[in-house]
Structure 1
Amino acid sequence: MIFKVYFQTSIKEVPVRENTKSLFIEGESVRDVRSKIADRGFNVEFVQGVKGAYLEYEKQNEDYKVLEI
Protein backbone atom coordinates (compact mmCIF):
# COMPACT_ATOMS: atom_id res chain seq x y z
CA MET A 1 0.00 0.00 0.00
CA ILE A 2 1.10 3.56 -0.63
CA PHE A 3 1.29 5.94 2.34
CA LYS A 4 1.60 9.72 2.40
CA VAL A 5 3.89 10.95 5.17
CA TYR A 6 3.61 14.53 6.44
CA PHE A 7 6.79 15.65 8.17
CA GLN A 8 9.10 18.47 9.24
CA THR A 9 12.70 18.21 8.07
CA SER A 10 14.22 18.74 11.50
CA ILE A 11 13.25 16.98 14.69
CA LYS A 12 15.00 19.70 16.71
CA GLU A 13 12.76 22.57 15.58
CA VAL A 14 9.22 23.40 16.58
CA PRO A 15 6.76 22.21 13.89
CA VAL A 16 5.35 25.00 11.73
CA ARG A 17 2.45 24.18 9.42
CA GLU A 18 3.90 26.18 6.53
CA ASN A 19 7.10 24.08 6.65
CA THR A 20 5.33 20.72 6.49
CA LYS A 21 6.52 18.56 3.61
CA SER A 22 5.21 15.26 2.34
CA LEU A 23 6.49 12.16 0.64
CA PHE A 24 5.03 8.91 -0.57
CA ILE A 25 6.36 5.56 0.52
CA GLU A 26 5.27 1.99 0.00
CA GLY A 27 4.79 -0.15 3.07
CA GLU A 28 2.63 -2.76 4.70
CA SER A 29 1.44 -0.64 7.64
CA VAL A 30 1.91 2.72 9.34
CA ARG A 31 4.38 1.09 11.73
CA ASP A 32 6.36 -0.32 8.79
CA VAL A 33 6.54 3.10 7.12
CA ARG A 34 7.62 4.82 10.35
CA SER A 35 10.38 2.25 10.86
CA LYS A 36 11.63 2.73 7.28
CA ILE A 37 12.12 6.48 7.73
CA ALA A 38 13.16 6.46 11.41
CA ASP A 39 16.86 6.97 10.60
CA ARG A 40 16.27 10.08 8.47
CA GLY A 41 15.75 12.51 11.36
CA PHE A 42 12.28 13.63 10.26
CA ASN A 43 9.69 14.91 12.70
CA VAL A 44 6.78 12.81 11.40
CA GLU A 45 3.44 14.50 11.95
CA PHE A 46 1.04 12.08 10.26
CA VAL A 47 1.07 8.94 8.11
CA GLN A 48 -1.97 8.37 5.92
CA GLY A 49 -2.84 5.44 3.68
CA VAL A 50 -3.61 6.51 0.11
CA LYS A 51 -5.77 4.47 -2.25
CA GLY A 52 -8.52 4.69 -4.81
CA ALA A 53 -9.52 8.09 -6.18
CA TYR A 54 -7.23 9.91 -3.74
CA LEU A 55 -4.21 7.97 -5.04
CA GLU A 56 -5.19 8.70 -8.64
CA TYR A 57 -5.47 12.40 -7.78
CA GLU A 58 -2.02 12.41 -6.15
CA LYS A 59 -0.49 10.65 -9.18
CA GLN A 60 -1.49 13.62 -11.33
CA ASN A 61 0.74 15.92 -9.27
CA GLU A 62 4.15 16.51 -10.86
CA ASP A 63 5.83 16.04 -7.46
CA TYR A 64 4.39 12.53 -7.01
CA LYS A 65 7.19 10.04 -6.52
CA VAL A 66 7.17 6.93 -4.35
CA LEU A 67 10.26 6.71 -2.15
CA GLU A 68 11.87 3.28 -2.39
CA ILE A 69 13.54 2.09 0.78
Structure 2
Amino acid sequence: MMIYKVYYQVSAKEVPVREKTQTLFLEADSEMDVRLKLKDRDYNIEMVQKLEGKYLEYEQNHENYKLEQL
Protein backbone atom coordinates (compact mmCIF):
# COMPACT_ATOMS: atom_id res chain seq x y z
CA MET A 1 0.00 0.00 0.00
CA MET A 2 1.09 3.53 -0.78
CA ILE A 3 -0.01 6.90 0.58
CA TYR A 4 -1.71 9.32 -1.80
CA LYS A 5 -2.52 13.01 -1.49
CA VAL A 6 -5.86 13.90 -3.06
CA TYR A 7 -6.69 17.45 -4.17
CA TYR A 8 -10.44 17.99 -4.48
CA GLN A 9 -13.38 20.37 -4.39
CA VAL A 10 -16.07 19.56 -1.83
CA SER A 11 -18.79 19.33 -4.48
CA ALA A 12 -18.59 17.71 -7.90
CA LYS A 13 -20.92 20.45 -9.12
CA GLU A 14 -18.44 23.23 -8.30
CA VAL A 15 -16.00 24.61 -10.80
CA PRO A 16 -12.46 24.07 -9.42
CA VAL A 17 -11.15 27.20 -7.71
CA ARG A 18 -7.64 26.99 -6.29
CA GLU A 19 -8.57 28.86 -3.11
CA LYS A 20 -11.30 26.30 -2.32
CA THR A 21 -9.19 23.21 -3.02
CA GLN A 22 -9.12 20.74 -0.13
CA THR A 23 -6.65 17.91 0.44
CA LEU A 24 -6.76 14.55 2.12
CA PHE A 25 -4.32 11.70 2.56
CA LEU A 26 -5.34 8.13 1.86
CA GLU A 27 -3.66 4.73 1.87
CA ALA A 28 -4.40 2.71 -1.29
CA ASP A 29 -2.92 0.28 -3.80
CA SER A 30 -3.15 2.62 -6.81
CA GLU A 31 -4.65 5.89 -8.07
CA MET A 32 -7.63 3.94 -9.36
CA ASP A 33 -8.09 2.39 -5.90
CA VAL A 34 -8.10 5.92 -4.40
CA ARG A 35 -10.82 7.01 -6.83
CA LEU A 36 -12.87 3.87 -6.10
CA LYS A 37 -12.63 4.46 -2.35
CA LEU A 38 -13.85 8.05 -2.77
CA LYS A 39 -16.54 7.42 -5.40
CA ASP A 40 -19.40 7.54 -2.87
CA ARG A 41 -18.40 11.07 -1.85
CA ASP A 42 -19.54 13.97 -4.01
CA TYR A 43 -15.98 15.24 -4.56
CA ASN A 44 -14.61 16.87 -7.68
CA ILE A 45 -11.17 15.22 -7.62
CA GLU A 46 -8.62 17.46 -9.26
CA MET A 47 -5.49 15.37 -8.78
CA VAL A 48 -4.23 12.25 -7.02
CA GLN A 49 -0.54 12.30 -6.15
CA LYS A 50 1.50 9.35 -4.83
CA LEU A 51 3.70 10.37 -1.90
CA GLU A 52 7.04 8.76 -1.24
CA GLY A 53 10.52 9.55 0.03
CA LYS A 54 11.31 13.08 1.22
CA TYR A 55 7.94 14.47 0.05
CA LEU A 56 6.08 11.89 2.17
CA GLU A 57 8.30 12.71 5.17
CA TYR A 58 7.60 16.43 4.68
CA GLU A 59 3.82 15.89 4.56
CA GLN A 60 3.88 13.56 7.59
CA ASN A 61 5.67 16.25 9.61
CA HIS A 62 3.17 18.93 8.57
CA GLU A 63 0.37 19.81 11.00
CA ASN A 64 -2.36 19.21 8.36
CA TYR A 65 -1.34 15.58 7.79
CA LYS A 66 -4.08 13.15 8.81
CA LEU A 67 -4.48 9.77 7.11
CA GLU A 68 -8.13 9.08 6.19
CA GLN A 69 -9.46 5.71 7.31
CA LEU A 70 -11.88 4.23 4.78
Structure 1: where are the runs of 5+ without partners?
none
| SS of residue matched to 2:40 | helix
TM-score w.r.t. length of structure 2: 0.95
Opposite residue 14 of structure 1, the aligned amino acid is: V
Give the number of equivalent residue pairs: 69
| SS of residue matched to 1:57 | helix
Which runs of structure 2 are paired with 1:1-69 in the superposition (5 Å)? 1-69=2-70
Structure 2: where are the runs of 5+ without partners?
none
Counting aligned pairs with the same residue, the percent is 55
Q: Which runs of 4+ in 1 moved over 2 A?
A: none
TM-score w.r.t. length of structure 1: 0.97
